[in-house]
Amino acid sequence: MSNQIVRAQMNEVGDFLNHVVKEVDTYLDNHRLAGLLEEQGSKDIEYYRSLLKSLRRLEVICDEAKDTIGVILQSEVFRKTAAERTLYGIYHQCIAEFFSPKGDSWYEDSRAAYTGKNAINFHYEPPKSLKDLMFKLEKPFQEIREELDYYEADYHEEVMKQ
C-alpha cells in the first residue's frame, strides 16, 4: 500500500479511536456498579462487574492505540512500516477486544450480518445504559473492521514473504 493510503487509514482510525475512548470514558465516569444495579437488566452483580472490567480493558487498549497513532502521525518522517504494524495491532487487539472480549462478557453473533440484528450478544441481560453504549459503538467498530480487513491476514502473509 502507498504511504498516502496508510496515512489516510491512520487518520481515520485515529478519529475512530478518539470517538471510542471519549464514549467509553464518559460512560465509565458516569456509571458505577450501584447505579447499574438500579437499571433494567438481570441485576447479576458478578456479571455486571465483568462487563465493567471488559469495558475498562477496551478503553485502555483503544487509548494506547490512539496514543501510538498520534506519535506516528506527528513524526517528521512518516514511517509506513510502523504505521502498518500499528494498524495490524489495532485490528487484532482493539477490534478483537470489542467483538470478543478477553473476559468473555459478551460475544459476537456471526450471523448478525445476515439477520439484520445487532452483532453483540450478552450472556445475561446487561444494564440498559451499557447495552445502549455497546449498540452505539457497534456500527463504527464494524466499519473500521471492514476498513482494516487487509490486516486480518494479508498483511501478515506479506510481511512473512519479505
DSSP assigned state of 138: H
> What distance lies between CA 124 and its chain's CA centroid?
21
Reported as a pLDDT band with limits 50, 70 and 90, residue 82 is: very high
Whether pTM > 0.95 for this model: the answer is no
Q: Average pLDDT, stretch 13-24?
A: 98
Q: How far apart are CA 38 and CA 98, in angstroms?
A: 25
Q: What confidence tens digit (pLDDT) does each residue in 27-65 have?
A: 999 999 999 999 999 999 999 999 999 999 999 999 999
Q: How far apart are CA 152 and CA 139, in angstroms?
A: 18
E strand or H helix that includes residue 30: helix 3-30
pLDDT at residue 135 is higher than 70:
yes
**Parent domain of 62:** 3-161
Give which of 10, 11, 106 is closest to 57, Cα–Cα.
106
Q: What confidence tens digit (pLDDT) does each residue in 90-123 have?
A: 999 999 999 999 999 999 998 776 777 889 999 9
Q: How many domains does the chain have?
A: 1
139, three cell numbers: 456500527
> What distance lies between CA 22 and its chain's CA centroid?
12
